[in-house]
Amino acid sequence: MLATGSSLIRLRGVTKVYGQGQAALMALKGVNLDVAAGEFVAVMGPSGSGKSTVMNIIGCLDTPTAGEYLFRGVHVETLSRDQRARLRRRYLGFVFQGFNLLARTSAQENVELPLLYRGESAAARHAAARDALVSVGLGGWEHHTPAELSGGQQQRVAIARAMVTRPAVLLADEPTGNLDTQRSREIMDLLWQLNVEHGITVLMVTHETEMAAYAKRVVRFLDGAVESDAPNPHPAGAA
């Protein structure tokens, strides 16, 4: 992993056009953004402003129409689909609003899944998944299926699954969107802890000002461009 303070993510003049001709829609209109290792960034902005599009590009799930995306100095826009997938598996963890867990599968097996894709041994998978579940406060819940867990617990499993590969960056798309306020705060405390104690860089899309207040920096999108980008001198998690 790169040292704190060095450039991890760099977008330069990134545009994204969906569709063609008359129907073409410019979802991103020349985005410049730098995220250093160790940052905790909240991405805000109205619906349709380009947040998901930019997160998909940063997450190597999509490519810009024009412009540059450098991840750890590598030009992602020049990589093949396979190379991007490898980069994604090695460095990025994802958490979504809807948890996206396999329903009839235990918490333990859900968390092991990314390691299975990596071809790790059963013993290594079990140990790493157990550790990850303990680190999100779910020691003892390994054998429960999602239906037997609360929404907050399901999101903890999803975070453990994202963290089990020890990613450099956690990309979270409205991670508290399906949770009540108390559960949302617990999830934010957990993300804060992962950021501060484990040095994970966090990029999180949220609509909620209270949850964005946990971030050390807030980037607002409007109409496909960065409208504002400001540090948060007093993040809520530090209190």
Give residues in contact with ligand ADP (CB under 6 A): 18-19, 25, 27, 45, 47-53
Cα 22 to Cα 210: distance, rounded to the nearest angstrom: 40
- Report in angstroms how near the CB of residue 77 gets to ligand ADP at its nearest: 18
- Report in angstroms how near the CB of residue 86 gets to ligand ADP at its nearest: 24
Q: Given the complex with ligand ADP, which of 62 and 120 has the nearer CB atom?
A: 62
Distance of CA 100 to the CA centre of its chain: 13
Cα 98 to Cα 158: distance, rounded to the nearest angstrom: 10
- Mutual orientation of helices 181-198 and 151-163 as an angle, nearest 10°? 20
Q: Given the complex with ligand ADP, which of 27 and 194 has the nearer CB atom?
A: 27
- Report in angstroms how near the CB of residue 64 gets to ligand ADP at its nearest: 13
Q: Given the complex with ligand ADP, which of 61 and 196 has the nearer CB atom?
A: 61
Write the single-letter amino acid at 174: E
Q: Given the complex with ligand ADP, which of 25 and 122 has the nearer CB atom?
A: 25
- Report in angstroms how near the CB of residue 130 gets to ligand ADP at its nearest: 35
Q: Given the complex with ligand ADP, which of 29 and 72 has the nearer CB atom?
A: 29
- Report in angstroms how near the CB of residue 65 gets to ligand ADP at its nearest: 12
Cα 13 to Cα 222: distance, rounded to the nearest angstrom: 15
DSSP β-ladder status, 217-222 and 201-205: unpaired
Give whole-number Cα distances, 162 to 21, 28, 127, 179, 198, in Å: 39, 27, 15, 18, 14
State the chain's maximal CA–CA distance in angstroms: 56
